[in-house]
Amino acid sequence: MTPLIIEAALNGATPKARNPNVPVSPDEITAHGLAAMEAGAAIVHTHIERMDVRGGDAVARYMEGYAPILAARPDAILWGTVAMGANFEERFGHYRGLAAGGVRMGAFDPGSVNLGTHGADGLPGQSFVYATSYRDVAGLVALHDEARLGPAIAIYEPGWLRTVLAYEKAGKLPRGAFVKLYFGGRYNFLDGQRSGVTFGLPPTEKALAAYLELLEGSALPWAVAAIGDCVVKTGLAELAIAYGGHVRVGLEDYGGEDRPDNIALIEQVVALAKAAGRPVATPADAATILDLPQ
């Protein structure tokens, strides 16, 4: 049985005002990252405080938190996220510096989507368009190949997966690809409020079945993620474990009325895997399963 890869998304855009357990500073990233791996996470994903920090400044800020993790755990699989910018280099150029510092994966978001929340009338209101054109997708393919990074592929909408599958079919997808199926949950991940205005498919068994139909014939490893919900409470984690998939969990994604910490969320997934008789992957296991190039 293939070991279960648990990816821990520790912070994202979730502020401490919403959940004081969110790690933000580099020291917190180091401590929480190491604790997440000890609890069972094979991959750790984080953001820095501001997405408008780019290039070498972004690399330096990430590495303040990452370098001590890599010193203690050279097998660690870490990855950051995109930056805000007006062009490809501003948004993604820092990946090269992170790869040079020992980061093994890079964000790879192959599509565009409206991200927002509802207004006072309950209708779609404030939003921004998170956009990656086909031209930028091609640029990301080249950049991940050049930097020898495994693509951490977010799937917000089904069309994003079809783009990825086109690259896989053509033999052009970089090594180490890991597909994360993002299901839009009950709570808006931008503001934490319960909302029917979100993206993608709902976190249900039927929605997962639709994605798995698209993945028929593909060799890509996949995981489930409930964005603005709890991947365990929705039942998605248990389904993924049973179907041979993997699980992403963490305070970046979590939505609900309570205030858990990352370790508690990871431990819930570990308990499900244990109950199912499925081993939990170490970082070394994950690197082998994903065929990471570094």
Q: What is the pLDDT of residues 208-267, one digit of tens each?
A: 999 999 999 999 999 999 999 999 999 999 999 999 999 999 999 999 999 999 999 999
- Is the pLDDT at 98 greater than 80? The verdict is yes
Mean of the per-residue pLDDT values of the chain: 96
- Is the pLDDT at 143 greater than 80? The verdict is yes
Instruction: Give me the number of domains the chain comprises.
Output: 1
Does 151 reside within a domain?
yes
pLDDT band at 125 (very low <50, low <70, confident <90, very high): confident
- Is the pLDDT at 294 greater than 80? The verdict is no
Domain ranges, residue 99: 6-290
The mean pLDDT value for 43-52 works out to: 96
Angle value at C-alpha 290, between 235 and 27, nearest 5 degrees: 75
* Model confidence, pTM: 0.97
Does 56 reside within a domain?
yes
Q: How far apart are CA 242 and CA 18, in angstroms?
A: 32
Pairing of strands 113-118, 124-130: antiparallel
Alpha helices in the chain (DSSP H): 26-39, 55-72, 88-92, 94-100, 134-147, 158-169, 205-214, 236-243, 262-276, 283-290
Q: How far apart are CA 10 and CA 128, in angstroms?
A: 23
- Is the pLDDT at 29 greater than 90? The verdict is yes
Does 1 reside within a domain?
no
Does 60 reside within a domain?
yes
Q: How far apart are CA 198 and CA 115, in angstroms?
A: 7
Q: What is the pLDDT of residue 140?
A: 98
Q: What is the pLDDT of residues 182-211, one digit of tens each?
A: 999 999 888 889 988 899 999 999 999 999
Q: At 197, which CATH number?
A: 3.20.20.70
Q: Which residue, among 275, 268, 273, 276, has the nearest Cα to 285 in the 3D structure?
A: 273
